[in-house]
Amino acid sequence: MTVKKISILGCGWLGLPLGRFLAGEGFAVKGSTTSETKLARLKEAGIKPFRIVLADSIEGDIAAFLDSDILVLDIPPGRGESVVEQHVGQISLLIDALVESPVRYVLFISSTSVYPAAGREVVEADAEDPEAADSLAGRALLYAEEMLRSESSFSATVVRFGGLIGPGRNPAEFMQRMTEIANPAQPVNFIHLDDCIGIIASIIRQGEWGEVFNACAPLHPTRGEVYKAAAESHGLATLPEEPSSSHDFKLVNSDKLVTKLGYTFLHPDPLGMARGGN
């Protein structure tokens, strides 16, 4: 099947450049934002803009927005103690709308925060218990994954991205808000925006639905190494390192993605990301 129409719910840091890329590839792309003032930015990127808000009910023309073949769902959980209940409520509302729509494929943007910080390498099967996730946001995302993947009216693929690097999100910029490097011996699980877009596009082109993929760069230098590289490349003072390092970490394995999609990372080394400007 040749997919013609794609809707992106959440055109933020990832969704907007993704929509621009897909529109450039010839897809008819619809995109949503919660802000009226951002609608023009979507239109300028070749995206048909919609204002959609998931709250106690859905604000906006959700039926017209979901008149597509594929939905890319990129709405991260919020903050606060009630984040799990709020995100589950949002996804529940959206599933009700999806059941009534032509959408048959959903690509859900999740996070490696669904994994427990077990002090070892993790693969896709290691996220089984939402209560074991390393944050409330991770718990919310894993519940959302389960809800979407159990629905029979569409097929959902989940992509669990690691720490996002790219324009406005470089380790050198993170350092401006830091006083020391916490847990300098822990491995990082980073992924560049270019690879986020490339992986999503590969899934869509190849029709890999009903899957779960980890998506992190294949190399995992330590936090200390990454921030030292960023400081040296950007002329910043090297920050002191925290004297002790927690063993509560995870090293995310993305071999399944590489094997199944035949994907080659554009930015395989987080040290290169740290040295770059974007």
Q: Does pLDDT of 12 surpass 90?
A: yes
**pLDDT exceeds 90 at position 77:** yes
Is 87 part of any domain? yes
Q: pLDDT-derived band of residue 278, with 50, 70 and 90 as boundaries?
A: low
pLDDT reading at 66 higher than 80: yes
First to last CA, the chain: 35
Has residue 176 been placed in a domain? no
Q: In this predicted model, what pLDDT tens digit does every residue of 129-172 receive, in sequence order?
A: 999 998 999 999 999 999 999 999 999 999 999 999 999 999 99
134-146 burial: b if 16+ Cβ within 10 Å, else e = bebbbbbbbbbbb
In the chain, the number of structural domains is 1
In a domain, 235, yes or no: no
pTM, to two decimals: 0.96
Residue 179 lies in a domain: no
Q: Is 243 within the bounds of a domain?
A: no
User: What would the pLDDT profile of 41-57 be if each residue is shown by its tens digit?
Assistant: 999 999 999 999 999 89
Cα separation, 236 vs 267, whole angstroms: 23
- Write the pLDDT tens digit of every residue in 171-210: 999 998 899 999 999 999 999 999 999 999 999 999 999 9
200: nearest Cα among 259, 130, 261: 261
- The pLDDT tens digits for 91-114 are 999 999 999 999 999 999 999 999
Q: Strands, DSSP E only, in 10-133?
A: 28-33, 48-51, 53-54, 58-59, 70-73, 105-111, 120-122
**236 in a structural domain:** no
Beta-carbon contacts of residue 142 (< 8 Å; ≥ 6 apart):
110, 114, 127, 130, 133
Does residue 88 sit within a domain?
yes
Domain of 158, CATH number, reads: 3.40.50.720
Print the domain residue range for 199.
76-165+189-220+251-267
- In a domain, residue 241? The reply is no
